[in-house]
Every structure is written in C-alpha cells, then in structure tokens.
Chain A
Amino acid sequence: MATIVSVHSFRGGTGKSNTCANLAVLMARRGRRVGVVDADIQSPGIHVLFGLRGDDITVSLNDYLWGRASITDTARKVYSAEGGGEVYLIPASMKTNEIVQVLRQGYDIRRLTEAFRELTETLSLDAMLIDTHPGLNEETLFSLAISTAVVMVLRPDQQDYEGTGVAVEVARSLEVPRLLLVVNKAPSTLDARALKERLEGTFHCTVAAVLPHSDEMMTLGSADVFANKYPNDPITRALDGVVEMLLAETDTGPDGTA
C-alpha cells in the first residue's frame, strides 16, 4: 500500500508547500514514484515550485472533483530523477471562477479517496503527498483521516505553537498513524536541540527536523525546489532525514512517544 502523507500547518506561510515539494523530490531521488496533490483548493500554489504558471494548468483537480475529467488526466510529470524516481503533480485550478465555485458549492470530498486509489494504481505510485489548506476545515480533516502520516509544519512562534496544539489533538482524534513535526524558519540564534526537546515534551510527538531560516530559500522565492538547487545544503539533508523516517516501513503503528 502506498504511503499517504498530509503536509499540514495550522497557520499559513509556514513553508508547507515548500516542504511538500522538497519531500517529493527527495523521495524521487530515492527511486520512489510520488504523487503530489494540491488540496489547498482555496489558495493553491505548489505548482509554482515545479515551474508552472496558473495559465499552464489546463486540467486540474477541480475538473476531477466536478466530474469533468478523470484523475489520471489531471496528473502531470514535473520531475524525474536518475534512478527512475518521478514526481507527478495534481494541481488545483487558478481560475477565479473555479475557486469561487468550490467556495460556493463545496464538493464531495469522499471522491478524493477514489482518486488516490486510482492514481496509485495507474501511475504505480509509492507515495502520495497532500499539500493541505492550513487550519481545520472538513477537506483538511478528511486528508488527515485518510493519511498514513502527517507532517505538521510550524514556525518557532507562540501562535504557531498554540495552533499546532489544536491540530495535533484533532489529528490524534482522527487516529492518524504517524505524526511528525517539522519546525521551519528557525533563527540561527535558536538552540535547535533544546527546542526539539521542549516541543516533543509538549506535543508528545517526534520533531523530525528543525530547519533554519535560510536566505537562499528566501531568495529562491518558490521559483524552484530548494533540494534541486542546493542538494548539499544542511536543509536539504535535514529534509532527506524526514523522508527517511517517512519511508521507514518498520514503523507503521501509532506514534510511540504518545
């Protein structure tokens, strides 16, 4: 069975989309076939990291949800690694009227399960990464409920801490098998080890990485996937560590630290 990973954060702007894209590319580097779903239909954006503009998206997840296209038609290959690993993106529409349509009418989120099943089969995917909408709405809860692992991205900020507390609690009530925290944009002055310990003590789950604030990442401004451009940067290596944890097949039960 494929690994389904929701990349989530309680608040926006934490680096969720960047983390998601990097994890996908790094998984592909490890020879995996990966699907990335932009489930942030209200504020899509991950396509930019793979070099696409809104206008380039001719068929989107929206078309599938409204029954206008099959889910495989919406997937496009956005990255391929030397060892045979590939990344397929299922983008969300950037057309105003289609975004508004979702707001007005909602959609049957249960269709997403079928979509994932069909995608993993037809594209023989090993993993599916979901870039979720921040906060808690029904679509997000649904993504969390069907995931085998959730990566919760947060910044070292009191608001993020409090919000993450809520998100972690909800994820637990949804019986998500694995819960990993990724701290992003940590100032260089912060003691990463101490922070990790403190957060693990508070939330009772693994902090998979503490990523420093990076001027290079800032400058890149989502124009490319960081791991592509800076394969040897400490951030890339830390994210690769997260990939390793996610792919570890042995640990599939609920998070042990709880």
Chain B
Amino acid sequence: MADSNSVSRADILLGRLSLERRAARVLGTVEARVAHMRTETRHAVQALFSGREDEFTRTFGDDYLRSLKMTARFADAPRVEDIERFARHWRPLVPPEPEVRAAVIQAMNARYGVSPGTAPLSFESMGYGDPAVGEAYQRLFGAALDAAALPGREEPTAAAVTEDGDLENQALRDAEAALDWLSVPAGTVLMREGDQPDYLYFVISGRLRVAAGYGREQRVIADLGRGELVGEIGVLTGEPRTANVTAMRDSEVVRLPQAEVLRMAHQSPQMLLRVNHILAQRLRVELSPRHRTGSSQLTLAVVGLSPGVPVRELAARLVEELAALGPVAHVSRDRAEGEFPRLRTADPSQDGELLAWLSEQEARHQFVVFEADREPGQWTDLCIRQADRIALVADESSGPALTPAEERVAALNGSARRELVILRPSTEAHPNDTRRWLGTRQVAAHHNVVLAERAHVARFARRLVGQAIGLVLGGGGVRGYAHIGAWRAFEEAGIAVDTIGGTSVGAIVAAGIATDRDAEAMERLGRTFAEGGITDLTLPMVSFFQTRKLTSLLRKHTENLRIEDLWRPFFCISTSLTRAEPVVHSEGPLWRAARASSAIPGLFAPVTGANGDLLVDGGIMNNVPVDSMRAACERGPVIAINLSPQVEHSDDYRLGPSVSGWRILWSRLNPLVKPIQAPSIFTTLLRTTEAGSIHRMRTGQVLGMADLLINPPMEKSGLLDFRNYDGLVKVGYEATKAALDQWLAENPELKQRLGVKPA
C-alpha cells in the first residue's frame, strides 16, 4: 500500500487490513525468534571465551522473554544478515495460507528493504516462488510478485546501529558469525566414537547423551543439557572422538567448526585457558565419587494407559510436589490452546510458535510437566516426543496387559526413560500383583501410588526426577539395633525416606521400615528379635535351630510380601557363593531377600536364590551399599548408616596360639573357672564376613558416594552385646539425631527438598 497510515475501501473489502495485521504479527514472531537465536549464539560464545556459562543459564529466560515481547524494541534487534542466516529456522513460523505469506513478503520488504536477490533464503522461507503466493499477492496488492515489486534498500536499518558495542574484540564477533545453529531431532547422532573431530557443540535446549562403548555395553558418561559444551577435546587435540553423542529428544545446539576453534585459540589465549578450566572442572566432577550423571533439568510426560486414568489430577499433583525441588511448568493442552487458540484445529507438533514457547518454558523452569490427553492423538504424541522421562500411568482395575499407548510411546520416543505408575485404590492392603504388571513390560522403575496419599505422590515426584531420598543401612550383627534408634531420629526430623536398602542386619531393619513401620513399631519389632532367642550364637557350626528361628521371624514380620509390591522401594545385597559376586535383590519375596542378605556364613544356612545360586551374607561384598542406592537416586540425597568401624575395639584378649573354641566354651560354662577372654566365634565370623568390604570402603569409593554418612560410635559395644538392646538403640538414635541436625543446619536449603516441616 502506498500510504500505510490510511485505510481504503479496498483494504477493508479485500481483508488486507487483517492480513497486514497478521503479517506484522508473523514478522514480529520471526524477529523474536531471530533475536533469540542471536542472543543465544552470542551467549554461547561468551560462555566459551569469557567464562560466563553460569550466566548463560541464568540470564537466558530474561533475554528470551525480552526478545519475545514484540512491542518492546529488542535490546538486540535482528539485522538483515541474522534474518537471512536463520531463515531455515524461522520457516515454520510462517503460516501456510498464501494470502498471509504474500502479506508477510510485502511487510518484510517494507521493513527491511530486502529483496529476493539480497536475501534468497528468507524469501524462500516466506513462500516466494510458490504460484499460489504469487496469485494472492496479485489479488491483494494489484501487482505481480517479482523482483520489480520488491525494491531492495541499501541503507542499514535503524536496528543495526548500536550493534556489538559490548563485544569487545574481533575474535568474539568472528566466532559468533561462524556459529551454526542446528535443530536436531531425537535420535540424531552428533558424533561417534572414533570419528575425526569436526565441530565443537554447545547445547541450547534439549538433551544430549554422552556414552562410550559399543552396542548394549554402552556406558552413559553424562546427560548434557542447556549451557553445556561437548566435543571440545577433540577439536583442540585433533584426536578421534572418545564417545558417542546422541540427541535424546528434539534438541537445539550451536556448533563451531574445528578450523574456527583453532583459529580462535590462536588469536585468543584466553579461550584456551577457558577450555582448560572447563576440562579441569569436568575432570574433577567426574572423579568425585558423588558425581551424578543425571541432568537436573528434566521434561516429564504424564501419559495414561487407558482413558479412565486421572492424568490431569496426577499431573497437577506432580507439579505441586516438584515445586519444592525447583521451578516447574505445567503444560497441558488447555494451557497451550490458551496461548495459541489455533491449536484446536491444527497439529501442535507442526506449530513453530508453540515449539518456541515450549523451549522457553524449558529454559525458564527446572522441570516441565507435559500432561497428555486422556485419549491418544496429536497432543499426546507431542507430549511423548518432548519428554526426557515418561510416566506411564495405569489404573489397577484395568489390568496388567500391555496397552496401545505404550506401543505408541516406544515408537515415538524410544530413548526416553519410561516408568510405570500403578494407581491403587487405598493403602489398606499392599498390592499383590505388581509382578504381573512388570512381567509384560520394560520400564526403568515402577511406582505403586494411592492418589489420595500426599506422601505417595511426593515420593513418586522425587523418584521420577531422580531426587529420591535414599537411606542405606549397613551390616553389623547385633549392632543393627542401632538402626532402629536411627529410624526414630529420621521420624523426628520429619525426613521422608523414599527408598531404603541395606545389607545383612541392615537389610532386616530396612525390610521392617519398607513395610511402612514407624519408629515405635520398629522398636517393638526389634525387641521381638532381641528377646526372640537369637542369642546363643556361640557354637561354631551351622545352626539349623537358629536358622529356622530367624526365618520364621522374618516371614512373620514381612507378611509374605514381595519387594515389588511395597509402597516404599527396597533393595538388599547378598553374596552369591556360586558366582562370587554381589546380588542386588529388588524383587521377589521380601523375607527371602532379607534372609539371604543376613546369612552370616557358618552361623545361618545359606539361601538358594531364584537361579539356584547359593546366597550368603551381603557383607562380604558390600556391607554399606551406597553405590547401589546411588544408582536408584541419581541426584537425590543418600544417607548411609555405617555400623562397622574401621578399627575394631579389641579387649585385651589373653589367648595363646592354640586356644580352642571348646575350651573357651568350657571356661564360660564352668562357674569355677575365670572365663577366658577371647573373641567369640560369632565376633570372628562377622568381622571376617565384613573385613573385605570394610577394607574396600577405606578408599572412600563407596561410602564417599553418600551425601551424609553417619557412624554411630560402635567401638564400645561388642558384637555380642545381646542384652544391650536399649543401649544400642540409644546410641543409634543419638548419633543420627546429632548428624541430621548438623547436616540440616549446614545445608538449610535441604529442608525443603527433604520435605522437612519448618520447626
């Protein structure tokens, strides 16, 4: 139009006014997208060369918001070069209708003075060359759509003037121009072990998995998210790639070619220092036993396996609980349609603006929860595709058969981690069919959840994002009663233990806790064991009598439950004598697992495992299994209670080299003879059992993985101190209480994460 500030009858009747308004909006969105990409590439460069990568993560949300506010002038208004450079990336933002495209071409030409000759990619993205667009242009503007209708303009746009004032040196500017923006679909392999290095990558959004090794033997080294760098070693040293890097879901990255990196390294020694620093830091983190592979930023999808599943309610409750862990966004179809009403009729996965909005949500929140529709469809597909982790939610009543929804999930996003949620009607009885649910499907974890129980939903939330609170109870014979006191300290502190595991006596106590016993119930149970007669353990032979007693006590107090049916996940460790390796029990009858874990060789009969292996006390291999717990908790705090001191207190035993057990026994039984002070066979067997793993722990590799390690002072209570039940409970309680108090005082931010109510 000649005069854009007047209105004519033709404008109205041809609908030009509304088309121009739409075109202006499209242009605004394109500008916002380009401004965003430009801000991102700039930050990537700054992070790389000036060591501001923390800021990258922090300031991103604000910058993006700013660039999205179409009314405001962008701090960094896009230049013609930027629009052209990112033309392929903003293409999806241009609506398909030829009329709108014609109007967008007109508006772009009017605002930036670009012509098909100066910005060919941009014009292609707007549909220049499409006959339908040409016709629409003719109809609307009364002229043929060709170069003559779109005169180019030479003078720079006002937007470009204050350009680059803050980028001090030429090197950074060059790097920015050399950066390449890639949108990589889920499953794309960015580099392979052994490849020649070509690019350095920087993650803008999405998830990249770094793994080494081949086929099924792949070992995950790290899951990278926003702001992280990958491939820098290769491009600097020229050595072949040392790992495979795969996009776990649709991701955006920028990459810098090797030649450019080397050129810059040459020009700017600062950059080399910077990369060195990053490498050193990474190495330090990876070498630390507390190193976590899981990313803290996650996108989650809640998908129902049958139409009756209350997906909406579960998603809403999940969001509520995640809020204690970090900023969280709830994305449902309603919400997306509220932002973009046209989605009611369009395929959301084709909507560029929606996808940009989603990546904004991801940048501004630690967690994004995608709520799928009750029915399968395009929205549900989108949720599945966007997720790092997918909660497959089933209702108990619908039965354990595999559902079409799961096939869809596997087809659309095979790399996402899948977890099964079985909604149970009430906590009155433990579930008893979980095995059948797990038998038919492959999931990384499962959750038995009663929706009405807040604690269940909170636990599900923490476990789903890998921030479960884990408690590990170590072995230690009769000293295990200290664990019972420790449990009281946890209860008083109000710490919600999400998952529990242990070895030997730790496994027995953990089994009691896993069946939802509070401190009082545990104290009663402990007393039952203490007074139940497993006391006379002095005879150096497998005691069938004692074995039977222990077995029947365990069976009685675990109600014949299976581990997978528990509300609170449980595991314990035993040792396979057959294979000489540790065994992690996370399914099967609870009593049998606990019994195997605590089968001190020589005192209790071994247990036969499911595959026929002979299983004995786990203490031989792993007396405080923090490592196994870490695998289940990823980033969550793991608290371990160790009852085996590095140095055992020894009474001044007076015994010659040929002392016989029988003589000691005789000396005890004969009231006329002063008892010979010698370590009992029980003490010896127990210490023997644990010695190997205690020695290994000295290196800190296992215990060092705990966030809090509690060592109740056990040196003073003998391993045979059966009558000292109350004393042991007290020691455990006091040590744990003191340790928890100090820990929470030193890390006040933990209180919220641990669900501790303010005093």
Given A170-B7, A173-B8, A174-B8 in contact, is the A141-B341 Cβ separation under 8 Å?
A: no
- List which B1-46 residues lie within 8 A (CB) of chain A: 6-9, 12-13, 15, 17-18, 21
| A98 CB–B CB distance under 8 Å | no
Contacts of B342 in A (CB 8 A): 105
Q: Is the CB of A173 within 8 A of B9?
A: yes
- List which B84-105 residues lie within 8 A (CB) of chain A: none
Closest Cβ of chain A to B10, distance in Å, is: 9
Q: Which of B6, B9, B18, B21 contacts A145 (CB 8 A)?
A: B9
Closest Cβ of chain B to A145, distance in Å, is: 4
| A106 CB–B CB distance under 8 Å | yes
Q: Is the CB of A145 within 8 A of B13?
A: yes
Q: Is the CB of B341 within 8 A of A138?
A: no
| A245 CB–B CB distance under 8 Å | no
Given A104-B341, A105-B341 in contact, is the A138-B17 Cβ separation under 8 Å?
A: yes
List 24 A-B residue pairs with CB atoms under 8 Å apart, sorted by A's residue number: A101-B341, A105-B342, A108-B15, A109-B15, A109-B18, A110-B15, A138-B12, A138-B17, A141-B7, A141-B12, A141-B17, A142-B12, A142-B13, A144-B12, A145-B9, A145-B12, A145-B13, A170-B7, A173-B6, A173-B8, A173-B9, A174-B8, A174-B12, A175-B9
Question: Top 9 nearest A-B pairs by Cβ distance?
Answer: A145-B12, A105-B341, A174-B9, A175-B9, A141-B12, A104-B341, A138-B17, A142-B12, A145-B9
Closest Cβ of chain B to A231, distance in Å, is: 38
- Chain A residue with the shortest CB-CB distance to B11: A141
Given A109-B18, A138-B18, A145-B12 in contact, is the A173-B7 Cβ separation under 8 Å?
A: yes
Which applies to chain A's interface (DSSP): helix, strand, loop or mixed? helix
CA distance A144 to B8 in the complex (A): 11
- Chain A residue with the shortest CB-CB distance to B14: A110
Contacts of B21 in A (CB 8 A): 138
B564-592 Cβ-contact flags toward A at 8 Å (1 or 0):
00000000000000000000000000000
Closest Cβ of chain A to B588, distance in Å, is: 55
Closest Cβ of chain B to A147, distance in Å, is: 11
CA distance A144 to B6 in the complex (A): 15
- Chain A residue with the shortest CB-CB distance to B17: A138
Contacts of A141 in B (CB 8 A): 7, 12, 17
Q: Is the CB of B18 within 8 A of A106?
A: yes
Closest Cβ of chain A to B16, distance in Å, is: 10
CA distance A138 to B15 in the complex (A): 9
- List which A104-119 residues lie within 8 A (CB) of chain B: 104-106, 108-110
- Chain B residue with the shortest CB-CB distance to A136: B7
Closest Cβ of chain B to A139, distance in Å, is: 10
* Interface of A toward B, CB cutoff 8 Å: 101, 104-106, 108-110, 138, 141-142, 144-146, 170, 173-175
Contacts of B12 in A (CB 8 A): 138, 141-142, 144-145, 174
- Chain A residue with the shortest CB-CB distance to B6: A173
B431-474 Cβ-contact flags toward A at 8 Å (1 or 0):
00000000000000000000000000000000000000000000
Q: A104-B341, A173-B7, A174-B12 are in contact. List 15 more A-B contacts (CB 8 A).
A: A101-B341, A105-B341, A106-B18, A109-B18, A138-B12, A141-B7, A142-B12, A145-B12, A145-B13, A146-B13, A170-B7, A173-B6, A173-B8, A174-B7, A174-B9
Contacts of A138 in B (CB 8 A): 12, 17-18, 21
Contacts of A146 in B (CB 8 A): 13
- Chain B residue with the shortest CB-CB distance to A169: B6
- List which B329-348 residues lie within 8 A (CB) of chain A: 341-342
CA distance A146 to B13 in the complex (A): 8
CA distance A104 to B342 in the complex (A): 10
Closest Cβ of chain A to B98, distance in Å, is: 16
CA distance A173 to B7 in the complex (A): 7
CA distance A141 to B11 in the complex (A): 10
- Chain A residue with the shortest CB-CB distance to B18: A138
Contacts of A145 in B (CB 8 A): 9, 12-13
CA distance A197 to B217 in the complex (A): 95
Closest Cβ of chain A to B5, distance in Å, is: 11
CA distance A108 to B22 in the complex (A): 12
Contacts of A110 in B (CB 8 A): 15
CA distance A145 to B342 in the complex (A): 28
CA distance A110 to B17 in the complex (A): 12
Contacts of B8 in A (CB 8 A): 173-174
- Chain B residue with the shortest CB-CB distance to A105: B341
- Chain A residue with the shortest CB-CB distance to B344: A105
Contacts of B17 in A (CB 8 A): 138, 141
Closest Cβ of chain A to B361, distance in Å, is: 20
B339-365 Cβ-contact flags toward A at 8 Å (1 or 0):
001100000000000000000000000
Contacts of A106 in B (CB 8 A): 18
Closest Cβ of chain B to A248, distance in Å, is: 24
CA distance A106 to B19 in the complex (A): 12
CA distance A175 to B8 in the complex (A): 8
Contacts of B9 in A (CB 8 A): 145, 173-175
Contacts of A142 in B (CB 8 A): 12-13
- Chain B residue with the shortest CB-CB distance to A107: B18
CA distance A110 to B19 in the complex (A): 12
CA distance A174 to B12 in the complex (A): 8
Closest Cβ of chain B to A144, distance in Å, is: 8
Q: Which of B8, B9, B21, B341 has the most CB of A within 10 A?
A: B9
Closest Cβ of chain B to A119, distance in Å, is: 19
CA distance A110 to B18 in the complex (A): 11
CA distance A21 to B577 in the complex (A): 97
CA distance A175 to B10 in the complex (A): 10
- Chain B residue with the shortest CB-CB distance to A140: B12
CA distance A146 to B8 in the complex (A): 12
CA distance A138 to B16 in the complex (A): 10
- Chain A residue with the shortest CB-CB distance to B22: A106
Closest Cβ of chain A to B15, distance in Å, is: 6
CA distance A141 to B16 in the complex (A): 12
Contacts of A175 in B (CB 8 A): 9
Closest Cβ of chain A to B197, distance in Å, is: 50
Contacts of A108 in B (CB 8 A): 15
CA distance A145 to B8 in the complex (A): 9
CA distance A25 to B726 in the complex (A): 97
CA distance A236 to B18 in the complex (A): 39
